[in-house]
Every structure is written in C-alpha cells, then in structure tokens.
Amino acid sequence: MQTRPDSFPSWRDHTVEPLRDTNPSELLENLDDNVFSKRHAKLELDEKRRKRWDIQRIREQRILQRLQLRMYKKKGIQESEPEVTSFFPESDDVESLLITPYLPVVAFGRPLPKLTPQNFELPWLDERSRCRLEMQKKQTPHRTCRK
C-alpha cells in the first residue's frame, strides 16, 4: 500500500492598500426632499395597501356578523353569554365563615393538613440500603476545578 502525502492549500501574501483620505464634502449626505420621497415611496405604498386590506377585512367581518345575527333571529336561536364556572362554591350557598390568623392551603376544595417540617425519607428504605446507596455515589470533580 502506497501512502500519499496530504496536500495543503498554498498560501499567498495579499497586501492591502491603506484607505485614501476623503474630502469632507464627499461624506455629506444628500438631504433633498426628492431623495427622501424616493426613499420612502415604496414603504408608504406598502403601508397604504395594508391599511386598505385591513379596512376591507373589517368590513367583511361586520357583514358576516350581520348575516349571522339575521340567521339566528330567523331560527329563533337566542345568543347566550358563555357560562362562567368556578371551583369555588356559589356565594349563596355559604353557611358559615371562618376567620383564622393564617392562610389555609386548599387542594381540590379541601383544606390540607398542617405538616411539620422534617427531612424527606423514603419509608421502604432501611438503614443498610441507605448506606449502600451513599457508598455507590462517586465523587466527581467539578469542571470549574480543573487546572
């Protein structure tokens, strides 16, 4: 098997000419009204087209709403407002009022029991299995500690 040396692209020097000093009068921008009107004409036409399209769309929506109202009136269908539902009971059904110095936590309409803070433990793990799990953990250095 014959090995061929890898080919690399050749390098060449490219010299860059320094920028020539420009005359300050050449840097001035033309601020004539004709220049501005030409620059903004396309955008103004686009804006007018969009405005015309918006007005036409609003007009179509109003016509459609009028037609739907006429159709509902002919069919005798009364347009009703959507019913607002809540998880809380109706205010008319209240039988008692409880005032407490703390805010009770409620889930699914029922108050949660007051829990005392304690360490989290899984009840199915005994001392031996807990020690075994802690020994299996490897101490890996953090990436920020590498030198």
Q: Pick the residue with more confidence: 91 or 4?
A: 91
User: CA-CA distance, 82 to 98, in Å (whole number)?
Assistant: 32
The tally of CA atoms less than 13 A away on the side-chain side of residue 125 is: 11
Which residues are registered as beta bridge partners of 106? Answer: 111
With respect to residue 102, please indicate whether it lies within any of the assigned structural domains.
no
With respect to residue 122, please indicate whether it lies within any of the assigned structural domains.
no
With respect to residue 22, please indicate whether it lies within any of the assigned structural domains.
no
Structure token pair of residue 141: 């250095």
For the chain, percent of residues with pLDDT exceeding 90: 20
With respect to residue 55, please indicate whether it lies within any of the assigned structural domains.
yes
Residues 94-115, mean pLDDT to the nearest whole number: 77
Domain that includes residue 46, residue range: 30-74
Determine the pLDDT at residue 43: 92
With respect to residue 118, please indicate whether it lies within any of the assigned structural domains.
no
90 in Cβ contact with 84 (< 8 Å):
no
- Structurally, the chain folds into a number of domains equal to 1
Summarised one tens digit per residue, pLDDT across range 9-65 is 788 888 888 877 767 666 778 888 898 899 899 999 999 999 999 999 999 999 999
Structure token pair of residue 105: 């936590």
With respect to residue 53, please indicate whether it lies within any of the assigned structural domains.
yes
With respect to residue 46, please indicate whether it lies within any of the assigned structural domains.
yes
